[in-house]
Amino acid sequence: MTTAIVWFRRDLRLADNPALQAACRHADRLIPLFVWSPGDEAPWQPGAASRWWLHHSLERLNEDLARLGNPLVVRPAGRALDAIRDLVEAQGVEYLYWNRLYDPALVARDKALKQWALEAGLTVESFRAGVLSEPWEVANGRGDPYRVFTPFWKAARSRDCGAPIPAPKQLPMPPAGLDRGAVASLGLLPGIRWDAGLAATWRPGEAGGHDLLEDFADGAAERYGQVRDLPAEPGTSRLSPYLHFGEVSPRQALRLIERVQDPEAAQPWLRQLYWREFGHHLLFHFPHTAEAPLDPRFADFPWADDEPALAAWQAGTTGIPMVDAGMRELWHTGWMHNRVRMLVASLLTKNLLLPWQAGARWFWDTLVDADLANNSLGWQWTAGCGADAAPYFRIFNPALQGERFDPRGHYVRRWVPELAQLPERWLHRPWEAPQAVLDTADVRLGRDYPRPLVDLAESRAAALDVWEDLKATNSPA
């Protein structure tokens, strides 16, 4: 009788799971294991919204495994190595399988764990399941990692990533006398229940992810190029948390293109899926970029230290409607539309001159799709200090952006209801509205809704001055 552990991490699915497939092939007994090991992930242990998602996703995975006769085995907070060693010793485990992750702390942890397991005489195998190509498989002509998206995309998309594997129809049985533990014992849900908005918005788990994927393939995927920038429209897939936790695999997402009627029209969406690949490529090759800028000119950027401004940004009370709408959408649902992520990040790093790392940390705690690779990429891109980044001098004007991408004001009215009565003409810049218009709309600036935290034009000019100084300091003598 051979016994295998399949160590689930961010691959919380039965289908297209190569580690699970290997165990089904080779073992007579199976331990499907999840270890809650936040210490292993430090300093980027999952934030509050991610923990909420993880709890529900593990519950669904447990149900799916139980239907096949072998429910999830759960181990509470501790080092993964300790939990796995205990199980190996108690159950005489011979095979250990997992799917690879690419965050720097996890690469180091998994390397050490593999070393230990090999020395302990186990057969250990890890697989590619969270990306379409391994970060080390895509390289430029000199064999170096890419830093610019378009050539990366051209190189990456021509690679064959294989077909998704179907879910197993049956599983090897569990060993006798196994203490399973319970997902609830991991304490992932918040003590004070702030999660009602998340629960009303999302259905974590493999089935929820696939329903969403199919709805998107049958509907918005072909219109993506036209509507992807309109935050009031359901125009993007919202698959990001499912891709992060691995309830949907990138290979399954890629296959979506075969279902849509007009695959050409869905190309812009595929491109975004490869931005995710690019993020993983960058984080793997430049692991310091979760904390520090990729562009060394930004290492000594004179960021401001302004706690009240940061708090107003976090709370969605900056007085700038598109920014406040985005920050409130984030707080309520654990997600924010990509266009609005760019706007709120631009306001923080450019108009307020606050460090991108402070914004990235807030996103980390509040996003259900918080992902070290994508979050670092998105923040550094917007701040102008990352790979293939928006140039620093490109500073979004959130009022103009609102007028362009939320022209009817549906998005702002939904998330900033105190402005609901304002006419479209003034909705994105209430500070310019005539007093009579504000009176009619029942808005008293400074009481019902804040005055803007910064003057957009002045703060833009100040940011550009800082940038000119930085360029002068860093230019060769």
Residues forming the site for ligand FAD (CB under 6 A): 228, 236-240, 243-244, 272-273, 275-276, 279, 338, 341-342, 345, 363, 367, 369-371, 374-375, 377-379, 382
Cβ-closest residue to ligand FAD? 378
Residue 101, CA distances (Å) to 244, 334, 359, 372, 373 in order: 11, 23, 24, 11, 11
Q: What is the nearest approach in angstroms of ligand FAD to the Cβ of residue 56? A: 18
Q: What is the nearest approach in angstroms of ligand FAD to the Cβ of residue 127? A: 20
Query: Taking the mean position of all CA atoms in its chain, how far away is CA 140?
Result: 26
Nearer to ligand FAD, 74 or 370 (CB): 370
Q: What is the nearest approach in angstroms of ligand FAD to the Cβ of residue 231? A: 10
Nearer to ligand FAD, 171 or 327 (CB): 327
Nearer to ligand FAD, 65 or 343 (CB): 343
Q: What is the CB neighbour count within 10 angstroms for residue 166? A: 10
Nearer to ligand FAD, 374 or 397 (CB): 374
Q: What is the nearest approach in angstroms of ligand FAD to the Cβ of residue 367? A: 5
Q: What is the nearest approach in angstroms of ligand FAD to the Cβ of residue 312? A: 18
- What string of DSSP letters covers 443-467? --BTTTBPPPSS-HHHHHHHHHHHH
Q: What are φ and ψ of residue 428, in 5° steps? A: -90, 0
Nearer to ligand FAD, 2 or 338 (CB): 338
Q: What is the nearest approach in angstroms of ligand FAD to the Cβ of residue 140? A: 20
- The amino acid at residue 409 is G
Q: Where are the alpha helices (DSSP H) in 120-162?
A: 149-157
Nearer to ligand FAD, 286 or 449 (CB): 286
Q: What is the nearest approach in angstroms of ligand FAD to the Cβ of residue 287? A: 17
Q: Which residues contact 401 (CB under 8 A, 6 or more apart)?
A: 322, 339, 343
Handedness of CA 78, 83, 84, 85 (dihedral sign): positive
Nearer to ligand FAD, 73 or 310 (CB): 310
CA distance 452 to 430: 9
Q: What angle do CA 148, 159, 157 make, to 5 degrees?
A: 45
